[in-house]
Amino acid sequence: MVLVDDDLLSELREATINGDSDRVEELSRKVIEAGIDPLEAVEKALVKGILELGDRWINGEAFISDLIAAADAMKVGLSILKNEIVKRGGAIKFRGRIVIGTVEGDIHDIGKSIVASLLEASGFEVIDLGVDVPPQRFVEAIREYTPDIVGMSTLLSTTMLKQKETIEMIKQAGLRDRVKIIIGGAPTTEEWAREIGADGWAPDGISAVELVKRLLNAK
Ligand code: B1M
C-alpha cells in the first residue's frame, strides 16, 4: 500500500502515540523517501503525537509509562529526521556553540531535544547537558565549553525558579557577560524571561533557532 503524505504523517503520529519505536523508525525513513519536509514531520507527527497522548494522560486515559514509551519513540524519529534537516540545510560550518539542558528537578526533555536538534540542523554546535541539570553544572559548562549561548528548558512551574537560580549563579561566577542566556518550555513566558534577566525566550523550536540567530548576529 503506497502511503501518501498526509497518511504517512498520521501513521507516524499514531506510531509515536503507541510508543512503537520500530514503526516510527520505518515511517520516518518513508517520510524522507517521500520527500516530505522533515521539519513538518517533526511538528505535525512527532510533537502532535506526544501532545495528543499527553492530553489522554492528563484525562487519565493513558499512563506515564505510555508517555515515556512515546517519548522514546519520538526521539528515534527525531534522530532520523534531524539528519535529513541537516542535509537539506546543508549545514557546513558551525555558526555558534550552544550549551542546553533541562533544569534541576525536571526530567522533561522532549522539547529540549527538539530545540537541540533544530539548532544542530541549522548549523550550530550543540552541547546537550541532558535533564535534571543543577545550576552549578551550567556554570561549569560555560567554563568548559565557552559557549555563545546557554539554554535552559523546563516544563514544571515549580522548576521555573531553577532558571532564575541558574542565571544568578552564572552572575555570581562572573560569567554573565560571556554568554547570552535563553529559556523556554511550556510554562515559561517572555515576561518570565525578562523578569529573571534572560536574553531571550522562544515558544517553540523554530522560533528558538530564529532567536539564537538574532542574538548571535547581535553579539
Ligand atoms: Co509531565 N508534566 N510530568 N511528563 N508532561 C507535564 C509538563 C504537565 C503540564 C502535565 C499536566 O499535568 N498538565 C505537568 C506540569 C504541570 C506544571 O508544573 N506546569 C507535568 C507533570 C506534573 C509531570 C510529573 C510531576 C507527573 C508525575 O510524576 N506526577 C512528572 C515530573 C517528572 C519531573 O520532571 N521531575 C512528569 C513526567 C513526565 C514524563 C517523564 C512521563 C513525560 C516526559 C518524557 C520526556 O520528556 N522524556 C511527561 C510528558 C511527556 C508530559 C507532557 C504530556 C508533554 C510535555 C512535552 O513533551 N510537550 C506534558 C503535558 C503537556 O504539555 N501537554 C506534561 C511537547 C514538547 C514539544 O513541548 O516541552 O513545551 P515543550 O517544548 C516546546 C516549547 O516549549 C519550546 O520548543 C519546544 C518544541 O516546540 N521549548 C524551548 C522547550 N524548551 C525550550 C528551550 C528554549 C527555547 C524553547 O531555549 C533554551
Looking at per-residue pLDDT, the higher value among 33 and 2 belongs to 33
Average pLDDT over every residue of 185-199: 98
Question: What is the CATH number that goes with domain 6-87?
Answer: 1.10.1240.10
pLDDT at 219 over 50: no
Does ligand 1 come within 6 angstroms of the Cβ of 160? no
Using DSSP, state whether 51 is helix, strand or coil: helix
Q: What is the sign of the dihedral through the CA atoms of 52, 53, 56 and 57?
A: negative
- For a mutational test of ligand 1's pocket, the pick from 106, 155, 159, i.e. the residue with the most ligand atoms closer than 8 A to its C-beta, is 155
**Which residues contact residue 111 at a Cβ distance below 8 angstroms, ignoring those fewer than 6 apart?**
153, 155, 184, 185, 186, 205
For the CA of 188, the closest atom of ligand 1 is 75
The answer to whether 217 and 185 have CB atoms below 8 angstroms apart is no
Which residue has its alpha carbon closest to ligand 1 atom 15?
156
At 183 the pLDDT is: 98
Indicate the fold that domain 97-218 takes in CATH. Answer: Rossmann fold (3.40.50)
pLDDT at 92 over 70: no
pLDDT at 35 over 70: yes
Q: For residue 110, how far is its CA from the centre of ligand 1 (angstroms)?
A: 8
CATH 1.10.1240.10 residue ranges in the chain? Answer: 6-87
pLDDT at 88 over 80: no
pTM of the model: 0.84
Does ligand 1 come within 6 angstroms of the Cβ of 209? no
CATH 3.40.50.280 residue ranges in the chain? Answer: 97-218
Does ligand 1 come within 6 angstroms of the Cβ of 109? yes
pLDDT at 5 over 90: no
Identity at 39, one-letter amino acid code: L
